[in-house]
Each structure stands twice: as C-alpha cells, then as structure tokens.
Structure 1
C-alpha cells in the first residue's frame, strides 16, 4: 500500500531530490551548522518558494535586521519586499527593537516569539503556511540547558497552526557542535550544513542527517552559493558521513546534557 505524503519544495532542486521531493507538510526541520555555511540562504529559498506556491510565509530573523534579510534575498532575485507589501509574507524582526513596528519583537523570549508568530498567521489568513526561525540559538545563548525545553514548547504550540517549519541553529566554529542540545531532539528532520578544507580550498557541504517518512539521500553533497542564483548542489563529496562524526568526547557531553535535562 502506497501512502501519499504531501511535500513542500525547498526551492532548491538538488535538495528536493535529496528529500524525495521535499519536506513533508507539517514537519519541524532543524537546519544546523557553523556560521557562513549557507543556512540563511537555504532559508531564503524555502521562503521564496512558499511565496511562489501561494503559501503563507512568516520569516523570523534574530541575527540580521529585516532590511538585511530583504537585501540579501534581492541578491538572489527574490523580492521579499514586494511579497511583504502584497500581504503574502511577514518578516518578524527580533534583532532591532523598533517603536511603532507591528512586526518587531520587543524582547528575545520564546513565549513572545510564539505569540507574535500566531498573530502573523492570523494576519495572513487561513492556508498552508511556512515558518522560518533564523535562528533559534538566539533564544538560549545565555542558558543553553534550556534549548530542549524551548524547542519543544515552540513545536507543541505551533504544530496546530499548519506550519511547516525551518529552524536554524548555530554550531560553534571551534567544535562543530551546537550551542545547547535540544533542537535536534524535537525535530522531524535535520539538515546539516558545514565546511571542510579540501586540497587547500574551502568547500561547503550539506548532509541530510534525518528526515522522517522520507527515503533521503545519505551522501554528503558539495554546495555553492552563486550571485543571482543562490544555493546550488554540486554533487556528492569524496568524503563520507563518518568523516563528519562528532568526536567521542563531544558525544559524551551530549549524553550527559540529555540526562541532566530529563525526559
């Protein structure tokens, strides 16, 4: 018996192919990796594809201003400014507090985030919706032990609102590990972005570490980011998933943190 799964295109053809057509509707997907590896560009593709597919799009930016996100999108021929003006998308700015701005967060707080997202959803109206939170790490930078609790709270409340969610999370450059263990535990899928020096040249890559209900590609694939085009898949890399495995001491810290956090 074949079960039909509705999938949302990511806006990147090569990644859709890695995901058997896209992200299953209603999933919460963690997009993780070090700074500068392509997470935000991927999030912009996902948002722009939603606009083209007539989805309701809400983009929460915590590490760049709304204006910076709009400017970056235009570099890849994505007119988010126009989409906002036409009521197809809302960009919530959690970086710059702005007086008299309906779509700015006055404080970086998970409850305030959830309430503002629901308010934006009501404003955009009924229908299939895409939510991007870039990044979730901002909400627990000073309290990493709360990462799992906060991530679960966001998923539990927003699950009822027909969102298919991308939540980015920063990894430390020095350890290639997360600032707080939690987002990956509640996610239905994990897409990892990274970088590696090969033959003296910096290479960016993507790996789908997990995607429920999906026969996804298990290979590491090189990526590139091109002006006017955005993120493109170059093809499988000549190193394996095992080459990217976390060191044993990092794994021990993860297990210890999970034990301390409880169920």
Structure 2
C-alpha cells in the first residue's frame, strides 16, 4: 500500500517551511495568534504576497482592521507592491473597514455595512472564485465577531468559516489576538484554535535584557513538527525564521 504524501504549500517565509516538512498542507486552515505587535499581519500578508510573487498562486486578503490603502502603504516598507499584483489579477484585497467607520470605499472589493455571516462568507467565496485564489488571509478573527455582531456565537461562526474555506480548497491563514499566551490562553475567545487545523504562535521573550521575537508551531495536522520555540525577526524584507536557533 502506497503511503499518502501530503502536498505542501510553500509559505515564502524564509526558514519557516523547514519546521513543517516543506510548508503548510495544501487546503488547510492555519490560525496565527499572538499579542499585539508580534507580526501577525506581516506574516499573513507575506504568505499571500510571496505566493503571487514566487509561486504563481493568486491570493485574497480580507482586511478587517485597517483600510486597504493603509495596508498597501505599510507593506511597501518591505518592498511588497500589492497593487502591482492586484492589477495583474493575482491578489485581491477585500476592504472590510470603510463601511464600519462610515466611509465610502473606493476599492474594487469591499464588504457592505450590515452584512450578516452568510453574506460575508458568500462575498469571500465569490472573490476567491473571481481570481481563482489558492491562498486566503482573514485579518482578523476578533474583527469578524465585531463586524458581524456575532461575538456570542463565535464558535459557530468560526466552524462555518472553516468549513467553507476547506470546501473552497484554499490554504488559509486567519489571525487572532492572544493577550497572554504565557498563561496558556493563546486566542482571544479560547475557541479559535479548536476549529483550525494548524496553530502558529508569535510572541516575545526577554533574553539578554531585551525582548526577542519567537515562533512556536502549536499544532499542524498532517505534519510532524517540533514543539520548540524558534527566534524570528521582522527585517526590511519581511519575516525571517531561524530554525537552527531554537530558544528551548
């Protein structure tokens, strides 16, 4: 009997794929979690941008925390020209912020105010199919709860979101907040990690009288992986992970 071989999706994050046997399992849903300022948005956008730049895989970014124009400007600091790939039909950014703050959106893809969960999922599905996306980012889960007024039913919302992502066959990165992962709480609601097939924690540790960034793969189905903490940096070219420099 032939052994099942998991197809891998290269993330475009130097050093990270070495921890996962070559990358994310194709079609999986990965939660990237951590406190504010640890690099979650950069990690997620790098996954989509490098997918388009290096591997010819179109991607969708659902931005629910900052306007698309602000995201584009911020990512230019890494040399990532999102608009270039938008114009080529390789990246689509869904603006989920403008309507919330009461401003008209000038974006090609924008969520309308008052969308319920089903409307949100249908819209994302339509944009994914529009550009034949292979990668998807939703930044962030807490903003979905607030945006869709479904916080009390967050587990059900996430289950439905995860199900439709798996049905679409895209490899997805969802971001969430972890206020104090050192005390064991690695997501804002305490349920996000249970409906994701993978969990990557980004955090800070004090070492030699300064704060260092580290990354931990908490869970990744279909993958043998280390449970050690590995240092990473946010460089002028984006995130770089150092798999030979485990913290412990």
Fold match (TM-score > 0.5) = yes
Q: What is aligned with 2:191?
A: 182
Shift in Å at residue 197 of structure 1? 2.0
Structure 2: tracts of 5 or more residues without a match: none
Alignment of 1:112-151 (within 5 A): 112-125=119-132, 129-141=134-146, 144-151=151-158
Q: What is aligned with 1:164?
A: 171
The TM-score normalised by the length of structure 1 is: 0.83
Alignment of 1:63-212 (within 5 A): 63-97=65-99, 98-99=104-105, 101-107=107-113, 109-125=116-132, 129-141=134-146, 144-172=151-179, 177-212=186-221
Q: Distance in 2 between matches of 1:196 and 1:111?
A: 40
Supply the RMSD in Å over aligned alpha carbons. 2.0
- Find 1:233's aligned residue among 221, 241, 245: 241
Q: Are the equivalent residues in 2 in contact too, given 1:148–1:185 (CA < 8 A)?
A: no
Q: Are the equivalent residues in 2 in contact too, given 1:32–1:192 (CA < 8 A)?
A: yes
Shift in Å at residue 115 of structure 1? 1.6
Higher RCO, 1 or 2 (CA under 8 Å, sep at least 6)? 2
Q: Distance in 1 between matches of 2:165 and 2:246?
A: 36
Q: Which moved more, 1:78-87 or 1:46-55?
A: 46-55
Provide closer, same or farther for how the CA distance between residues 74 and 101 of structure 1 changes in structure 2, counting only shifts above 3 A.
Answer: closer
| Secondary structure of 2:121 counterpart | helix
| Secondary structure of 1:50 counterpart | helix
Q: What is aligned with 1:10?
A: 11
Q: Are the equivalent residues in 1 in contact too, given 2:33–2:201 (CA < 8 A)?
A: yes
The TM-score normalised by the length of structure 2 is: 0.87
Q: Distance in 1 between matches of 2:126 and 2:143?
A: 21
